[in-house]
Amino acid sequence: MANDIFYTLVNNNQQYAQGKVLHNASYPGPQPIKPAKRTAVIACMDARMDVEDILGLQTGDAHIIRNAGGIVTDDVIRCLVISHHLLDTQDVMVIHHTRCGMLSFTDELLRMGLEGDTKAVEILKSATGRDFTPCGCASHSPSGFHAFRGELEPLDAPVTEKQIERLEMDVRKSMSMILNHPWLPTEGKDKINVRGFIYDVDTGKLQEVSYPGTMGSF
């Protein structure tokens, strides 16, 4: 049945809530609303990334903000403003990762494919290795998909120096958007600290990205 996964996940939650150990986790009991480690993490929604496991975080330790690419959108800024000013977080981690699907398209290419452009559909099918089904209509929302800059790569392409360079550039761009936002202070007693990283999905290791640095385009 199509909904079997929902049954499985809800059943998992029932066991979790009863205190049974489920994949090395069980309900820890009531937690304070403020993150214990005063940390917010921005990361990609990629299923190969378990942010809590990667960073050794426990329930209640941090705010985890995830989207496609782990990019800094208006909603991410909104989350960070709330996280910092109302819930007392101080440190922000930005984490991109290797072999990210956001490297395989541009905003305009995806938009054209969704609208039904046959050439764009073929390019997207080739990049993703799956049928791409256009919707055949235009939409004003979302206004952007925020794909990474640079030449397109096949979906889940092997890691190269050029791929790392593209990821580093976008990590720096994301850090810059946070550090230069007027509602996220970087000086004084209420300042936030921001650091950026690339997670290697093949090794499980984090590599820090220097900031400032190049944010130019190819």
Q: Are residues 93 and 192 in the same domain?
A: yes
**Which range has the worst mean pLDDT, 78-82, 179-183, 203-207?**
203-207
**35 near 89, Cβ under 8 Å?**
yes
> Is 185 within a domain?
yes
Note whether 178 and 91 are same-domain residues: yes
**35 plus 76 within the same structural domain:** yes
Same domain for 162 and 98:
yes
Q: Averaged over 44-69, what is the pLDDT? A: 93
pLDDT-derived band at 6 (thresholds 50, 70, 90) equals: low
Q: What DSSP letter does each residue of 70-124 carry, written as one string?
A: S---HHHHHHHHHHHHTT---EEEEEEETT-GGGG--HHHHHHHHHT-HHHHHHH
Classify residue 40 as exposed, middle or buried by CB count within 10 Å of its CB (0-12, 13-18, 19+): buried
Q: Looking at the domain assignment, is residue 77 inside a domain?
A: yes
**Do 160 and 189 share a structural domain?**
yes
pLDDT tens across 107-150, in order? 999 999 999 999 999 999 998 889 999 999 999 999 888 888 88
Cβ-Cβ contacts under 8 Å for 103 (sequence gap 6 or more): 147, 148, 150, 152, 153, 157, 163, 166, 167
- pLDDT 10s digits, 183-203: 999 999 999 999 999 999 999
Q: Residue 169 has what pLDDT?
A: 94
Mark whether 36 and 135 lie in a shared domain: no
The whole-number pLDDT of residue 1 equals 43
22 and 35 belong to one structural domain: no
Are both 97 and 110 inside the same structural domain?
A: no
State phi, psi for 68 to the nearest 5 degrees: -70, 110
Dihedral pair phi/psi, residue 209, rounded to 5°: -105, 130
Q: Is residue 46 part of a domain?
A: yes
Q: Is residue 136 part of a domain?
A: yes
22 and 36, same domain (yes or no): no
Residue 216 maps to a domain:
no
Domain count for the chain: 3
| Residue 81 resides in a domain | yes
Residue 121 sits in which domain range? Answer: 106-143
